[in-house]
A and B are shown apart, each in its own frame.
Chain A
Amino acid sequence: MLFSADTLVPIRLTLELALVTTVLLLIVGTPLAWWLARSRAWWKEAAASVVSLPLVLPPTVLGFYLLVALGPNGPGGALASLWGARTLAFTFEGLVIGSVLYSMPFVVQPIRNAFEAMGDRPLEVAATLRASPMKAFWTVAVPLARPGFLTGAVLGFAHTVGEFGVVLMIGGNIPGETKVLSVAIYDYVETSRWSEANALAAVMVVFAFAVILSVTAIGRRLGHITE
């Protein structure tokens, strides 16, 4: 049997990690995207560039800094000491933090674009109809930016599923804790267990295909709505 318990554990772990990361990214990324789309602060683009750094940085560089930050002497270690642990590196929580930073641009960028594309007018209209900024945000901005949210969520999820370098640097290879799909495939190849590697790789190919197809479909819908 190709999908033994051995191969299912990393799949489950990966889905869990991607789900938690995506939810956190939507919570953190939405206000950030809103600010990037609407603020006139001069340092806004500098902030946007920091968010986008993972697009260009080698994952090992990001992983290295994260390792330092999550380790016993970094802020991650200080955080971990709150519940009596020594470090956040090589834990599931550490992986979540790393994934959030690593996948951030893939979520923030489409949401920011969607907020920018709608322009000021819908919000001005809402304001002249007595909608508070909060009401205008939830009843006008969010529904109009829905395709952006969908694209961001799908990309954030997919990108987290596919990450390898950062995980290797800060997560290592602890089964059931940090051994996600991409690492597991690497591991199977290293130990010459080709059939398991093959099965997991095939899962990834199907998954990637589904992601790209759905992003395209969302893009088409976006064009349809704004028309």
Chain B
Amino acid sequence: MIDDQTIEAVFRGRLGGFVLDTAFTLPAHGLTALFGPSGCGKTSVLRCIAGLTRIADGLCRVGGDTWQDKTTFRPPHMRPIGYVFQEASLFPHLSVRRNLTYGAPHKSTAAGVKPAVGFEETVDLLGIGHLLDRAPAKLSGGERQRVAIGRALLSDPRLLLMDEPLSALDAETKEEILPFLERLHARLAVPILYVSHAISEVERLADHLVLMNEGKVLAAGRLGDLQSDPRLPLALSRDASVSLDATVEGHDSTYGLLELSVRGGRFLVPAPAGCSGEMRRLSIKAGDVSLSLQPSSGSTILNILPCRILSHTRRGEHEVVAVLGLGSDGMGAHLLARMTRRSWTMLHLGDGQPLFAQVKSVALR
């Protein structure tokens, strides 16, 4: 598992009054969310990877390079990272332009080596072109954070670390920045490690997930797999949902419905037309999925898909959460369905059973 394409991180020890005991390996591509409640050690892990915090018993390898092991400790300025802090932390004595170029490789030293993203492209991607000559004090919170992201990107990192970059912002500003993050993720090859305690951000952005609690890693893997794993707290939470990466197949202009395919199924979602083949993310809540034994024809529900029950778990006294595999063979993407225990018993449901998932609502990003 340890090769050029992975990020391996092991950090064990005491930090102040807090015990960290984490070990995980991640693919070095896409966006990985470090998710868990406040104070569970997510930020500490990120700081350890950056080298800003030094924990004695640590191992950190990124893409074949050892940043920390028993005998090595690379100081942060020797690690090819970009780091976005919770607060933008722009240099107040420098203009936006000089903040952006502070970490950029010098032309003379990087002769012939082109950085992954250029200045113009970054400025364009983040929509900060009109701010270049301003002082940081004259920017709004959202603008500042966008400049901070641009500054980190322009240092040409091989790994981008983001520590709750939205949590210090109000809801409106978050919505302003999220599309930039989505674009960033779609356009750039650089892997991103993203710390968050907001599941909505994770559902929207993450490909992979590291689930943390009280200084420990509960699980690490693909987002959809962890969301639909009934042994983990995500699947059993009140607002449990599963994110699916879907391909645009076509558009029904009569009714304004976008047709999207996922592994083992197809969805129709009210949305403007998109380019065929384009990837979109769907999010389906466990509470919006009900089960039926027949492919009921007299229903207003748009999306009714054949599936199989893969496993089920009791949720409290009254409810059952079932993990569904899409497709009549149940081999497709996973969904969650939450129902009362009474319904589960009355329909004589059980693992392996083929039936139909009625999806009442699909959120499309």
For A120, the closest partner residue in chain B by CB is B52
**Residue B7 at the chain A interface, CB threshold 8 Å:** no
Asked whether any CB of chain B lies closer than 8 Å to the CB of A143, the reply is yes
Q: Does B92 sit within 8 A of A, measured CB to CB?
A: yes
Whether B75 sits at the interface, judged by CB under 8 Å, is yes
Instruction: For B98, give the chain A residue with the smallest CB separation.
Output: A139
* Closest partner residue, chain B, to A133 (CB atom): B77
Whether the pair A125, B77 counts as a contact (CB closer than 8 A) is: no
Closest Cβ of chain A to B105, distance in Å, is 8
Q: At the interface, yes or no: B81 with Cβ under 8 Å from chain A?
A: yes
Residues of A within 8 A of B80 (CB): 130
CB atoms of B92 and A125 under 8 A apart: no
Give chain B nearest CB distance to A82 CB in angstroms.
Answer: 41
Q: Are A227 and B137 in contact (CB under 8 A)?
A: yes
Chain A residue nearest to B155 (CB atoms) is: A129
Q: List the B residue with the shortest CB-CB distance to A140.
A: B91
With an 8 A cutoff between CB atoms, is A47 at the interface?
A: no
Of the candidates B75, B91, B161, the one whose C-beta lies within 8 Å of that of A125 is: B91
Q: Mark A109-145, 1 if CB is under 8 A from B, else 0.
A: 0000000000001101111111111001001100110
For residue B35, CB closer than 8 A to chain A, the reply is no
In the docked arrangement, what's the CA distance between A227 and B81, Å?
29
B340 at interface (Cβ–Cβ under 8 A)? no
A226 close to B (CB within 8 Å)? yes
Q: Are B76 and A124 in contact (CB under 8 A)?
A: yes
> CB-CB < 8 A to A129: which residues of B?
77, 102-103, 151-152, 155
A225 contacts chain B at the CB level, 8 A cutoff: yes
B93 engages A143 (CB within 8 Å)? yes
| Interface range, A side | 20 to 34
Q: Are B76 and A128 in contact (CB under 8 A)?
A: yes
What's the Cα separation between A124 and B151 when bound, in Å?
Answer: 14
Instruction: Compute how far the CA of A26 lies from the CA of B155 in the bound complex, rounded to whole angstroms.
Output: 33
| CB <8 Å contact, B93 and A225 | yes
Q: Provide the bound-state CA to CA distance between A127 and B77, in Å.
A: 5
Q: How far is the CB of B76 from chain A (nearest CB, A)?
A: 4
Knowing A121-B89, A140-B91, A143-B93 are in contact, say whether A128-B75 is a contact too (CB < 8 A): no
CB-contacts of B1-53 with A (<8 A): 50-52
- B85 adjacent to chain A (CB < 8 Å): yes
Q: Is B83 positioned at the interface, with any CB of A under 8 Å from its CB?
A: yes
Q: Is the interface of B mostly helix, strand, loop or mixed?
A: loop
Contact A226 B92 (CB under 8 A): yes
Instruction: Provide the bound-state CA to CA distance between A43 and B85, in Å.
Output: 32
Q: Please, which residues of chain A bring their CB within 8 A of the CB of B52?
A: 124, 127-128
Is B224 interfacial (CB 8 A cutoff)? Answer: no
CB neighbours (8 Å) of A226 from chain B are 92
Tell me which of A130, A144, A227 contacts B77 (CB under 8 A). Answer: A130
Question: CA of A152 to CA of B87 in the docked complex: distance in angstroms?
Answer: 30
Flag whether B165 is at the interface (Cβ < 8 A). no
* In contact, A127 and B89 (Cβ under 8 angstroms): no
In the bound complex, residues from chain B placing their C-beta under 8 Å from that of A130 are 77-78, 80, 103, 155
Q: By CB atoms of chain B within 10 A, which of A121, A124, A136, A139 has the most?
A: A124
Chain B positions within 8 Å of A124 at CB level = 52, 76, 83, 85
* B327: Cβ under 8 A from any A Cβ: no
CB neighbours (8 Å) of A133 from chain B are: 77
8 Å CB contacts to A: which residues of B82-100? 82-83, 85, 87, 89, 91-93
B151 contacts across to A, CB distance below 8 A: 129
Partner pick for A225 among B85, B92, B103, CB 8 A cutoff? B92
A127 to B52, CA, bound (A): 8
Whether A128 lies near B152 (C-beta < 8 A) is: yes
Complex Cα distance, B161 from A146, in Å, reads 31
CA distance A144 to B89 in the complex (A): 13
Q: Find the residue from A121, A128, A140 having the highest chain B CB count within 10 A.
A: A128
Smallest beta-carbon distance B157→chain A, Å: 9
**Quick one: which of A131-183 are within 8 Å of B by CB?**
131-133, 136, 139-140, 143-144, 146
Show 9 residue pairs from A and B whose CB-CB distance is below 8 angstroms, ordered by the A residue: A125-B83, A126-B77, A128-B50, A128-B81, A129-B102, A129-B103, A130-B78, A136-B77, A146-B93
B residues apposed to A, CB below 8 Å: 50-52, 75-78, 80-83, 85, 87, 89, 91-93, 102-103, 137, 151-152, 155, 161
